[in-house]
Structure 1
Amino acid sequence: MYVKKMTAQLGLTGFMALAAAFSMPAAHAFGLADIAPSGGAAKGSSVDVGSLVSQQKDLMGRFKQSMNNMLVAQSLTLEAGGLKEDAQKASAAAANYGQGSVITKDQLERDTKVSENATKAINDQIKKNGTLSAAGQEKLLSAVPHYAVGMYEGTKLPKSFQSWTDSAKSGLSGLKTDPMNASKLTGSLDDVTTVATNLPALLGTWTTTSKAFLNYAKSNKVDTKDLSSKMGNL
């Protein structure tokens, strides 16, 4: 329930409108004329483009950290249950974000599917055989901090994306007559839009897989105190 409320705060419709405004031709001042006050030049507040670009990079870095940790956590959980092929797929996907690679729409959609499939495989494994060997239990234990970091950062992202969007929108009219400065925000806007589009589904998957992991670990007497505290009332 908590995650659903957070993802609702993302304001995706407004964010997509913001992206569309920035992507319009410079001749139309990136579409800012439509939102400028009627009857004259824009009177919007000034916007610190450098700060917005820096915040944008920070947002993407935090997302990549969450994505990397969640996929690593799933990989270790799958490996604990002997699902080596599935574990390798999750591990390979995690490497993309650990290396800080540019995120493309196709890549993120593919890796979102990898995470979804990993969740299903973990749930199936729990149903088939909930008891692991000592080595398997060690693997589960090693996954705990990755789940904790991934969920802790992941659940804060919707509010952070919304805050960035609000800041950018508030300065749009101020950039109406300065398209060159406004264009600085467009460099990685596609990446941010891609993440914002996929984030609600990802958070749903991460919550589901973390809850499954908690049950799996509990049945194998693995200490998950750090993760349990991060999950809270999710």
Structure 2
Amino acid sequence: MKRFSILLCTALLVLSLAGMASAFGLSSVASGVSGGDDSPKADIKGLNSEQAKLKSRLVSALVHMLDAQGKVLDATGDKDAAGKVANQVESLKKGNVQDEEIDKSVALTEENNKAISEKESSMSDLDKSSKQKLAKALPPYAMGVVDMTKLSKDFTNWLDRAQSAVSSASPASLLSVKDNLAFGLDMAPKIPAICSQTLSTTQKLIAFCKQNKLETSGAEEALGDL
């Protein structure tokens, strides 16, 4: 009987303390002490799925952009650079593109854009045929810029949620979360700069073609209000 009374008192004390904790908003403290976690879990699976879709769209945008840059380089007489670009485009079109190949394509896009910008001052010396080739490169160039711009917005949205997932990950799961989202976490910050650079180059190429009475409507329509 004495043992039963002790057990009963203990049970009543536990219930009383639980009620006090709830009344004073201490449930989270109790949860922390007991090892529980009431915080919402990040949707890593969903973020990983979105990352795969963004990666696929990036490959498509890079194909447009590199193909256009190759045409511009060819029009300006830089056959070696144009050939290098053509080979990279073929690699992207094969499918199942690895992260390293995408990184290589992004770096080549930036390299090409810089080279094309440096050639702008001498484009007026091109013959009529080369200038026409240049004009034909404008629509796919503009399409690549538009693709990249849309992608940049979606990558930025994804990055905010991915960084939140990393910051809220437990010590035990942190490395796994970072590993799963590594491609997007590395690539997302690079996209806005590429958009800005390639848009500026496209607008300058359009201005040049207009000055030389070449067709630019396709590129201008593609760019819209960018």
2:197 alignment counterpart: 205
1:76 alignment counterpart: 71
Determine whether 1:154 maps to 2:162.
Answer: no
Q: 2:50 pairs with 42, 52, 55, which one?
A: 55
Q: 2:188 pairs with 172, 192, 196, which one?
A: 196
Task: For structure 2, list consecutive stretches of 5 or more residues without a partner in the other structure.
Answer: 1-27
Whole-Å separation in 1 of the counterparts to 2:168 and 2:188? 24
Distance 1:64 1:219, change over 3 A: same
Whole-Å separation in 2 of the counterparts to 1:167 and 1:120? 32
Distance 1:116 1:161, change over 3 A: closer
* Contact residue 70 and residue 146 of structure 1 kept, 8 A: yes
| Residue 57 of structure 1: how far off its partner (Å) | 0.7
Determine whether 1:216 maps to 2:208.
Answer: yes
Q: Deviations over 1:115-159 (max 9, x none)?
A: 344234333433224264454244234323321221111112232
Q: Deviations over 1:73-93 (max 9, x none)?
A: 111011112221121223233
TM-score for both structures, normalised by structure 2: 0.67
TM-score for both structures, normalised by structure 1: 0.65
Task: For structure 1, list consecutive stretches of 5 or more residues without a partner in the other structure.
Answer: 1-36
Name the Cα RMSD after superposition.
3.5
* Contact residue 115 and residue 205 of structure 1 kept, 8 A: no
Distance 1:215 1:93, change over 3 A: farther
Q: Deviations over 1:46-66 (max 9, x none)?
A: 554443222111111111222
Larger RCO: Structure 1 or Structure 2 (Cα < 8 Å, ≥ 6 residues apart)? 1
* Contact residue 151 and residue 230 of structure 1 kept, 8 A: no
| Residue 172 of structure 1: how far off its partner (Å) | 6.2
Distance 1:194 1:92, change over 3 A: farther
2:8 alignment counterpart: none
Q: Residues 128-167 of structure 1: matches in 2 within 5 Å?
A: 128-130=122-124, 132-167=126-161
Determine whether 1:67 maps to 2:86.
Answer: no
Q: Residues 16-95 of structure 1: matches in 2 within 5 Å?
A: 40=32, 41-95=36-90
Q: Residues 105-124 of structure 1: matches in 2 within 5 Å?
A: 108=103, 111-124=105-118
1:228 alignment counterpart: 220
| Residue 102 of structure 1: how far off its partner (Å) | 1.0
* Contact residue 76 and residue 130 of structure 2 kept, 8 A: yes
| Residue 214 of structure 1: how far off its partner (Å) | 1.3
* Contact residue 113 and residue 201 of structure 2 kept, 8 A: yes
Q: How many positions carry a matched residue from both structures?
A: 194
* Contact residue 159 and residue 185 of structure 2 kept, 8 A: no
Q: Deviations over 1:14-67 (max 9, x none)?
A: xxxxxxxxxxxxxxxxxxxxxxx8762332335544432221111111112222
More helix by share: 2
1:186 alignment counterpart: 179
Whole-Å separation in 2 of the counterparts to 1:162 and 1:198? 10
1:29 alignment counterpart: none
State the identity %.
27
